[in-house]
Structure 1
Amino acid sequence: MTSVQLLDSSTPQTTPDTPATGRAARRKAQSRKRSLAARYLGYVGYFVGAGLISGAVVHHPLDPDRYTRIAAYGALVFLAATVLNEFLLTRERPGLPRILVVIGSSLLLSFGIGMLSGGLQHFDDFPTRGAVLVPAGIVVSFIAYVIKDADTPTRRIFSLLGLTVLAVATLAFFGLREVAASMEATPGDGHSHGTAEEPAADDHAPSTTPATPAPGTSVQPKPVSPPPPHNDGHTGH
């Protein structure tokens, strides 16, 4: 074997990247840049949907029709974000049973987060309702998350972690109920969202504002009484 052959055999063969590999890398980078907007929308959709639901579940007694619609809008936004993040932005496409499980658990998770967030945020305004929403939101959100997570078996709901979550929710319920009872005994000045009555006027304060007549009625001028006759001590006959 000649020296040239020895050199050829000892020199490693280095081949540059093929054009196909370079194009694939560029397409992957461009695809990730384009998906930035989609990933942003999916991320924001979770919070917007949960925020709408949190306000709706707390204020629902004030206007049931209105806040039922708001809760439905929040659920739709949250589900749209779930579909975007879980199905459209992933390489693996789950089957129909898994899709139904993810959608159902995501809807449950949105209401659990909404109850927890809304109950904490508006506890001063609705203490009795908040004392129920906060612990219920803890339990519901935990169960929904375990069901939604594909890597976590469902039996973990009844594990030591699940019992801990249940204990925390129970303590939160009894503790917040006592706080709510003390707050109702000494009401504060929380914002009422337009449901509180206007403060009563002072009954002993003189009224200087003339009464406003009802619409469509005419106001007759009050007759002026003549001054009493001057009494000079003599009685007339």
Structure 2
Amino acid sequence: MKNLIYKYLVYIIYFLGIGMTSSGVVLMPFNTMRYSVILFIGLSLFIAGSIFNEVVIDHHHMTAIDSIKLVILSLTLAIGIGMISGGISHFKESPTYVSYLIPLGIVISFISFAFKNNFKLNKKEKLMVFTGIIILAVIIFIGLSIAASNMAMMNMTPGGDIFNGGH
């Protein structure tokens, strides 16, 4: 029963952390102070969840270096996922900004995930995977950039629904 509760808590902490990170990353240009606080809380939650998962649930005894590595990789993973998630959710608010966020988030989150989970690849596999991720990110960037410019051509004003004052 304790394992169920712990794993549930980790999921809640992870998802709340990612949700808040997503909002903070994508909406920060619109209200820097407010969304910086939300971003900080989201990242803190995600790190807490990562540490709780490693230490309490998986019973890993980490050195100081392992702890620092976990924090850094958790931060970059959360930021990368937040860039993707927030970008998808808020494309209409800032299409040009999001055109950069989503592809960059894919690259950052993939690399962070690979290192955090200690995947071992040979040189050829690393080159193939890295090249594939970069190609995917470039394709997505081009597609989003085209969509963003088409929104501007159709006289769709960036700013989206969250800035219209109603729900």
Normalising by structure 2, report the TM-score: 0.89
Please, which of 18, 34, 38 is the counterpart of residue 2 of structure 2? 34
Shift >6 Å, 4+ stretches: 154-157
The offset of 1:156, in angstroms, is 8.2
* Residue 52 of structure 1: aligned partner: 20
| 1:53–1:70 Cα contact (<8 Å) kept | yes
What is the CA distance between 1:130 and its match in structure 2?
Answer: 1.0
- Which has a greater percent of helix? 2
Q: Cα–Cα, structure 1 residues 155 and 103, in superposed 2: closer, same or farther, change >3 Å?
A: farther
Distance 1:156 1:129, change over 3 A: farther
Task: Give the count of matched residue pairs.
Answer: 163
Could you say which residue in structure 1 is the equivalent of 2:71? 103
Distance 1:185 1:77, change over 3 A: same
Shift of 1:35: 2.5
- Offset, 1:155: 6.3
Q: For residues 155 and 105 of structure 1, what CA distance do their matches in structure 2 show?
A: 21
Contact 2:14–2:45 (CA under 8 A) maintained in structure 1: yes
Does 1:76 find its partner at 2:40? no
Quote the RMSD (CA, aligned, Å).
2.1
User: Does 1:122 find its partner at 2:116?
Assistant: no
8 Å Cα contact 2:54/2:60 also seen in 1: no
Contact 1:146 1:154 in 2 (8 A): no
Deviates more, 1:173-182 or 1:186-195: 186-195
| One-letter amino acid of the structure 2 residue matched with residue 186 of structure 1 | M
Q: Which residue of 2 aligns with 1:207?
A: none
Structure 1 residue 175, shift from structure 2 partner: 1.4
Match of 1:164 in 2: 132
Give 1:87-236 correspondences, 5 Å limit: 87-152=55-120, 158-188=126-156, 190-194=160-164
How far 1:169 sits from its partner (Å)? 0.1
SS of 2:120's equivalent in the other structure is: coil
Change (3 A) 1:172 1:124: same
**AA partner of residue 47 (structure 2):** L
Shift in Å at residue 152 of structure 1? 3.2
Instruction: Please give the per-residue CA displacement for 1:160-182, whole angstroms capped at 9, x wherever unaligned.
Output: 11210110001111111011001
Distance 1:152 1:194, change over 3 A: farther
The answer to whether the 8 Å contact 2:74/2:116 transfers is yes
**Partners of 1:126 and 1:163 in 2: CA distance:** 28
Match for 2:58: what amino acid?
Answer: T
Structure 2 unpaired stretches of 5+: none
Quick check: which has more Rg, 1 or 2?
1
